Structure 1
């Protein structure tokens, strides 16, 4: 690995990663964070497997005499598709939930249909108005911030909560794995309802009528009052993403879409074009670092892959411009402007920090994701200076 940058001795996070620190052995704080989670959840050990068995029994017991006993968000990607299969294997009765921001690739849409039909699972979908979707994406692009698809992440969470409430389901199952994906540093990966609303108010042209906005009060309602739990099975059990991918292709004629997060064209634009070119940030280091940590690939192999340019889908930039009605000049102007940070816009961040003791209790009870607590409820380094 030839570089003048300081790089973690266990993964490939380097000194450009937000809020990174290195110990005396050159190991970064994000690797230590993963170590702490491994201990707490017993991931891929008998302790973790036993914990998760108890959760499955809890879900079945709570879902007795209900149409569904859990909600699973689906995108057409590897993790969520495989999670549907596992849920049926465990004897659960899931309702698949999809938030359609109208940027899905055709491969992702077909993947969802194939797996749901094969497993006989019902689908609940919230479709965003197309003009509204374009306006929200355009607003975030004009705001010069990295999190151009942040509204999608939060809207999916809100949509899953709404479906759970409608069908009286107390458990939402998510396909995230900190082992294979890591936990994205909060530097340029922030989102909350106030952030979304404030940016749209500044730059939007179309009223948000069909967008499922999760306000602070709604977030508290879903978690502290409705008691809807977020469960991430891959935080407890052994999970091999490559094996899952092969299984899906063999059993359901599922198709791979070319890379992590590339099943959605807006997300693909962010990861392949927007953040690398405007922010000099390549978020592939999250997955590559995670794979290096667990020994799936060597640090040298991870760094070599990271050093290659990101895969850009043919005509992706052209498609982005056309959808958002951007001229070449306007697109180039925005892409060449100095980047901005989420800290320059109104957010709930200080409120999350103030209520950290509450969110710690909620995270321990699986009522909010532990990753939310770790990323959003602590002051950033600059805030202490």
Structure 2
């Protein structure tokens, strides 16, 4: 007998994730947590304007005598592109834009990056990952059968980000991560992409070639840069405005000739496969629920509209066949072999060597220090 999933009465998260819990009203812990965090993470009014002005003043002051005021990552996605527009055109910040090419850029994403860089006339640095290494690592992760299949791409981005900042002497990074569209985070969902030990462990078990140039960052290098030296401060300016993706996309289309690439994070062809095919088929989870529930919390979508969108599959059967064929060819396997990897029994990240305890300890210490500082100001 198949039990129908229980869905939150406020957002559209359901119990396909065992960490989702409901209260007596049927509201889930994810949106309750997001609503509680909202006043301290998103300021779409006058307070946000004040915080933005203070940040811009701070960055320009720190940037005196330097080539750049801040660094920004460009993926070809809406969030980072609109942030570049906001920071450069509206606030006059001198930016170094960084892009990590892992071999999966969609054609619209490449065009979007070019139009933003050209339209804003900002300096641009690209780091290209050796394709044979990325391919070998991604196949290894598929064989490991773990949840976070975006880890090979994301780890390369984070490692390159910190090392590029050190190379150019930049101390501030503007992140497109935002509360409006990304506030919903299920407990223990995913796995931190910065864990270099985990990357090496899975590759050592399932990889075939060596990773000679792939940028692996170990935990001690990461903690040294972020906690000891405090080399790079990450800011989230989109949390200082009434950020709305549809409005942002409309502005980008008008000013820069922006091209739509599909769903959230679909600027990467592999991420599209991971979200639309791998996660639902292997883990029974539709990642659209995170984004749609975030929009509900932000007041930018109704629950009824979100449920209507979820009633339709993320992609058609024809698109599934096309994407499987494309990804399989890129990875050097047959479509049948790729499906076999997707359908193999799921494994936990904890099944492989990792440094999760160190990252958790660092995060818990940071949270404790922040709480102590906040109490001290009261």
When normalised by structure 1's length, the TM-score is 0.89
What does the per-residue CA deviation read over 1:349-373, in whole Å, with 9 as the maximum and x for residues that have no partner?
Answer: 21223334433268789xxxxxxxx
Name whichever of 78-87 and 150-159 sits farther off: 150-159
Aligned to 2:242: 238
Q: Is the 8 A contact 1:41 1:48 kept in 2?
A: no
Which of the residues 194, 199, 202 maps onto 2:197?
A: 194
What does the per-residue CA deviation read over 1:293-316, in whole Å, with 9 as the maximum and x for residues that have no partner?
Answer: 233222122112112111264721
CA drift of 1:336 comes to 2.4
1:138 and 2:139 matched:
yes
State the alpha-carbon separation in 2 of the partners of residues 230 and 73 from structure 1: 11
State the alpha-carbon separation in 2 of the partners of residues 345 and 27 from structure 1: 34
CA drift of 1:274 comes to 1.0
State the alpha-carbon separation in 1 of the partners of residues 58 and 268 from structure 2: 33
Which of the residues 271, 274, 277 maps onto 1:270?
A: 274
Name whichever of 350-359 and 62-71 sits farther off: 350-359
SS in 1 for 2:332: coil
Aligned to 1:326: 333
State the alpha-carbon separation in 2 of the partners of residues 151 and 84 from structure 1: 25
State the alpha-carbon separation in 1 of the partners of residues 312 and 95 from structure 2: 40
Aligned to 1:250: 254
Aligned to 1:376: none
Query: Structure 1 residues 46 and 142, CA, compared in 2 at 3 Å: closer, same or farther?
Result: same
What does the per-residue CA deviation read over 1:324-377, in whole Å, with 9 as the maximum and x for residues that have no partner?
Answer: 221344223222221112122222221223334433268789xxxxxxxxxxxx
SS in 2 for 1:172: strand
CA drift of 1:42 comes to 4.6
Name whichever of 190-199 and 132-141 sits farther off: 190-199
SS in 1 for 2:296: helix
SS in 2 for 1:315: helix
1:95 and 2:96 matched:
yes
Query: Structure 1 residues 77 and 362, CA, compared in 2 at 3 Å: closer, same or farther?
Result: farther
Q: What does residue range 154-193 of structure 1 map to in structure 2 within 5 Å?
A: 154-185=155-186, 187-190=188-191, 191=193, 192-193=195-196
CA drift of 1:172 comes to 0.6
Aligned to 2:346: 339
Name whichever of 56-65 and 355-364 sits farther off: 355-364
Q: Is the 8 A contact 1:224 1:362 kept in 2?
A: no
Name whichever of 264-273 and 176-185 sits farther off: 176-185
Name whichever of 60-69 and 272-281 sits farther off: 272-281
When normalised by structure 2's length, the TM-score is 0.90
Query: Structure 1 residues 27 and 159, CA, compared in 2 at 3 Å: closer, same or farther?
Result: same
Query: Structure 1 residues 4 and 280, CA, compared in 2 at 3 Å: closer, same or farther?
Result: closer
Name whichever of 173-182 and 322-331 sits farther off: 322-331
Which of the residues 255, 261, 264 maps onto 1:260?
A: 264
State the alpha-carbon separation in 2 of the partners of residues 173 and 286 from structure 1: 23
Between the two proteins, the alignment pairs up a number of residues equal to 363
Name whichever of 127-136 and 145-154 sits farther off: 145-154
Aligned to 1:38: 38
Q: Is the 8 A contact 1:70 1:93 kept in 2?
A: yes
Q: Is the 8 A contact 2:184 2:291 kept in 1?
A: no
CA drift of 1:8 comes to 1.5
Aligned to 1:305: 309
Aligned to 2:210: 207
State the alpha-carbon separation in 1 of the partners of residues 366 and 214 from structure 2: 26
Ranges in structure 1 where 5+ consecutive residues have no aligned partner: 366-385
State the alpha-carbon separation in 2 of the partners of residues 254 and 106 from structure 1: 12
State the alpha-carbon separation in 2 of the partners of residues 37 and 238 from structure 1: 16
State the alpha-carbon separation in 1 of the partners of residues 368 and 56 from structure 2: 21
Q: Is the 8 A contact 1:18 1:186 kept in 2?
A: no
SS in 2 for 1:355: helix
Query: Structure 1 residues 57 and 317, CA, compared in 2 at 3 Å: closer, same or farther?
Result: same
